[in-house]
Amino acid sequence: MLEKRIVVCLDVRDGKTTKGIKFKGNVDIGDPVEMAREYYRQGVDELVFYDITASAEGRGIMIDVVRKVAREIFIPFCVGGGIANVDDMRSVLLAGAEKISVNSQAVKNPEIISQGARLFGNQCIVLGMDAKADPAMPSGYRVVINGGRTDTELDALQWALRAEELGAGEIVLNSIDTDGMREGYELNITRMISEKVSVPVVASGGGGTAQHLADVLTKGKADAALIASMVHFGDYTVGSIKDSLAGQNIPVRLTW
């Protein structure tokens, strides 16, 4: 069995790492460069950097911060927020990222996925998807964009399958309903999409304990779990989470 990955997310606003609940009530909690360095030291498998207000504000990503973070870590590094075209993608890759996450812009212009995949390879293009429960949708889940501010008419499962067809090499699936709540991931939608697509699925939204990760990596069938609050606020280290998972015979990389 392939090793399961632990991914730490840095949501960045105005150059500072920030954290909220369901995309609301954000508070600044630290310097993203210093935090990236610390999580790398702890042995995190990957790091994700989201400029969370770039799309809503209609501006480009903070490339200088991306460059500073990339200098501190030597693991896969994914960047998203404000990626509007392939030139933006190229700039992020040249700044040191290995992967590019597209979310709102991909919904508005799906061809950005295929354009990026053709130029930089499928492995570089990550679909970021924010979804919330909605019984009116075929799968029971609706895609939302602009940091959870705007509903779309896209069904979450159908959008995941479409993005894979277009060339996305990975999907980061964030549940709006559990985001920041630290009460567990949304297992139903995670399992649904993981079983239907052939690309890796990273579960996001709701991690609060090591058992939550164990559940989403097994019952939810995710390939990786994204965490934020549980390490940002010092409740866990990356190493303690991995030790707990390994104790349940979940394959993780304990050394690097």
pLDDT in tens, 130-162: 999 999 999 999 999 987 889 999 999 999 999
> 1 pLDDT exceeds 60?
yes
What does the pLDDT read at residue 82?
Answer: 83
Closest CA to 255 of 247, 34, 93, 246: 246
What does the pLDDT read at residue 34?
Answer: 94
User: Is 116 buried (19+), middle (13-18) or exposed (0-12) by CB count in 10 A?
Assistant: buried
Cβ-Cβ contacts under 8 Å for 30 (sequence gap 6 or more): 16, 17, 232
pLDDT in tens, 56-94: 666 667 888 899 999 999 999 999 988 999 999 999 999
In the CATH hierarchy, which fold is given to the domain comprising 5-247? TIM Barrel (3.20.20)
Residue tagged active-site, from 11, 45, 155, 215 = 11
Say which residue, 11 or 241, is predicted with more confidence: 241
Contact status, residue 136 vs residue 112, Cβ threshold 8 Å = no
Element (H, E) at 6: strand 5-13
Phi, psi dihedrals of residue 204, rounded to the nearest 5°: -140, 145
Residue tagged active-site, from 45, 51, 130, 215 = 130
> 4 pLDDT exceeds 60?
yes
What does the pLDDT read at residue 56?
Answer: 64
Whole-angstrom Cα distance, residue 191 to residue 48?
A: 22
Q: How far apart are the first and last CA of the chain?
A: 18
pLDDT band at 197 (very low <50, low <70, confident <90, very high): very high
Closest CA to 156 of 169, 145, 147: 145
pLDDT in tens, 21-53: 655 556 667 899 999 999 999 999 999 998 877
134 is catalytic: no
130 is catalytic: yes
